[in-house]
Structure 1
Amino acid sequence: MFLSKSAKEKAYEKWVDSLTPIGASPFQSRVFRSWASIDESDYNFHLSNSSYAKALDGARFKLAAQLLPKFLLAGGVIPLAGTHFHFVREIPIMARYEIRITLEAWDDKWIYIVCRFVSKPKRSTKSKNLAKKDIDTSSSSSASFFHAPINSSGVSMSSTPALPTDAPAPPTDMAKLTAALLASEEPDGATLHTVTVSQMCFKMGRITVPPAIVFAANGLGAPPAPSALDTYSATNPPPHWSQVQAISSRTHGGSIKKLRDFFRGGWKDVPEGERWWEEAMSGGVEVRRRRNLETLELLRRGMEGARGMR
């Protein structure tokens, strides 16, 4: 309250940096928990299909707040272009469930977020002994939000148009990825109820911001070399973080306004070969991005093709 202006600015930046996932992978999953409340279930005593979209709104916003705080503080928005649903199994009324949300792929404009609605089987005496084998989700957020149930009619349905019967079979690696996305059981034994894919983009006003720039500006990026002694973090930031601070941090000569201008198109002034966000998103991150994009782009192409049907 009685701090000087410079002290307040330092305290504010320290708080923002504490929210920023410096050194984290863009593919890091988050977990959000909810339950099938009565008001969001249907006459079949299952979560209503219409409740999925409501749940996704909360889950996607929480993911954005955790992964991209600097983009949001600079005034950025993340509009939704479409969501595709694949209903695998219904969620009974009053049952608890999780939304496991992951940013899986992106190109120069679009990002693809995959959400998996799962529930864990009730523990018996035997299952309690197997609990230690469950996947450790302690690093994922356990934040809950008001009951945002999601429900299916019990019949497997998909908003994704099917490939024509004479279409060539996808490559082996693409087939494996598709099978993994639609598996009926998770590696930790959880039951899969629904898979959704959301197509979104980043906007600063009316200007579209390339995803790689947004991710790198929030500290996300590839991990250090295997020979490195430590992983990247706030105390051991990735190499490109000094570039971000020079743009966004007042103590380093930047400001939120400069960051906003950078997102609006200032990044185009950075010469080829000096674009630090490309280096930040290279290596294993780029390999996984390309692999996942091959599969997830099929959804967008299918819907764009459907628009032209008469």
Structure 2
Amino acid sequence: MPRARPAEQVATLAVPAAIISALGYGAYRTRLLALLSQYLSQPGRKSRVFALLLLIVNWKSLPFAWTFRVWYTMVTHILLRKPPSYPPSSLFSPVVTSSHVSLFETDYNLHKSNSTYFADLDVSRSHLVSHITARGIKLLNRNATTRLVMDPTSPNKPAKGRFGVFLGAVQCTFHREIGPFQRYEMWSRILAWDRKWLYMVTHFVEKGASKAGKKVVLETQGAGKAKGTDAAKVYGTAVSKYVFKMGRLTVHPAILLDASDLLPAREGGWVVGEEGVVESENLGEVSEQEAGQWSWRQTEQKRREGMKFAAHFAALEGLSKFFDVDADAVLGNFAVG
């Protein structure tokens, strides 16, 4: 009897598996619909429908919803989708994330609670970094082969350890309130970077405040010229910073950005000087478009402009020194916090 070819063997195994999966899904769906029908047909139908609708419109506030929202962004952009190929001119362009205010997010003034902004920021930042640096993240996860980060103690060997992204700090300014069930957008983009931190700025804005939100930058084109923003449509502004690690070794943000093809070629590279960046270098005359291409000078100019704001944010780290561990007395000590 002739031996089955590999393709036939795969088909022999795959077809029954597909049939079993289809039957299982059909049974699950039928059972789910039956349970839902039973739930809605029992006494107190109106109350049950109301409770179900309440859960649906407030799903983002349910237990484990935050975990799902964050992991969904990372799995989708890094594992399921093909990494995008944006030109360096789009490095500072925003990524837009849409959301709404659930009833469970409101405070006693029936406005979106200030504390809930930070959960939304986790999701928006994850979309930004996972999307635009997916290519670089994949390469850094194979650092033993790609050798993008070298071990400082053994310069000829690649750094060991798992690549990770960690949040260092967040600061948020609240401009206007957002009402219950109101839809809004989060516009997150790269602000700047230094030797250690990648700084990002996020604007919470009115849904549809800018027509640009409906236009996705094509992978073959750059970002358009920035225009003024209607401050009345901005609900809040936040600044965050990420640090990238390879084991316990800090990875320069420019390495990740460069590996993602988001930085133009620069003589000497982007990791220069003792601090990894050179602030004193004279950029000369920076034109809007040099020889029809986006140059490293334009990227560096925008990075420095962003650092003017990021530097104030970074200076807040010094406030930890104001904690007086030897204080003689406190004004109160309360249990419920």
TM-score, structure 1 as length reference: 0.56
Secondary structure of the residue that 1:43 maps to in structure 2? coil
AA aligned to 1:51 is T
- Map Cα deviations across residues 237-259 of structure 1 (whole Å, 9 max, x no partner): xx69xxxxxxxxxxxxxxxxxxx
Deviation at 1:70, TM superposition (A): 2.8
Shift in CA distance, 63/49, structure 1 to aligned 2, threshold 3 Å: same
AA aligned to 2:126 is F
Shift in CA distance, 292/77, structure 1 to aligned 2, threshold 3 Å: same
2:144 aligned with 1:90, yes or no? no
- Distance in 2 of aligned mates of 1:189 and 1:295: 18
Match of 1:105 among 177, 182, 192: 192
AA aligned to 1:304 is E
- Distance in 2 of aligned mates of 1:51 and 1:140: 29
1:307 match: 320
- Map Cα deviations across residues 88-116 of structure 1 (whole Å, 9 max, x no partner): 11100110000000111001111111000
Deviation at 1:286, TM superposition (A): 0.4
2:61 match: none
AA aligned to 1:286 is E
- Distance in 1 of aligned mates of 2:318 and 2:268: 38
Deviation at 1:19, TM superposition (A): 1.3
2:12 match: none
Mapping for residues 103-182 of structure 1, pairs under 5 Å? 103-120=190-207, 134-135=211-212, 137-139=214-216
2:30 match: none
- Map Cα deviations across residues 17-42 of structure 1 (whole Å, 9 max, x no partner): 94133424321211000000112222
Match of 1:292 among 296, 306, 322: 306
Which structure has greater helix proportion?
2
AA aligned to 1:33 is S
Deviation at 1:274, TM superposition (A): 5.4
2:100 match: 35
Larger radius of gyration: 2
AA aligned to 1:289 is R
2:236 aligned with 1:194, yes or no? yes
2:59 match: none
1:70 match: 135
TM-score, structure 2 as length reference: 0.52
Structure 1 gap segments, 5+ residues each: 3-14, 123-132, 142-179, 223-238, 241-272
Contact 1:119 1:192 in 2 (8 A): yes
Deviation at 1:221, TM superposition (A): 2.0
AA aligned to 1:139 is V
Deviation at 1:277, TM superposition (A): 7.1
2:158 match: none
2:166 aligned with 1:79, yes or no? yes
Moved runs in structure 1, 4+ residues, more than 2 A?
15-18, 20-25, 70-73, 133-137, 185-190, 273-278
Shift in CA distance, 283/51, structure 1 to aligned 2, threshold 3 Å: same
Shift in CA distance, 291/306, structure 1 to aligned 2, threshold 3 Å: same
- Distance in 2 of aligned mates of 1:188 and 1:281: 30
Q: Percent identity?
A: 30
Secondary structure of the residue that 1:308 maps to in structure 2? helix
- Distance in 2 of aligned mates of 1:17 and 1:104: 25
- Map Cα deviations across residues 203-248 of structure 1 (whole Å, 9 max, x no partner): 12211111111101011124xxxxxxxxxxxxxxxx69xxxxxxxx
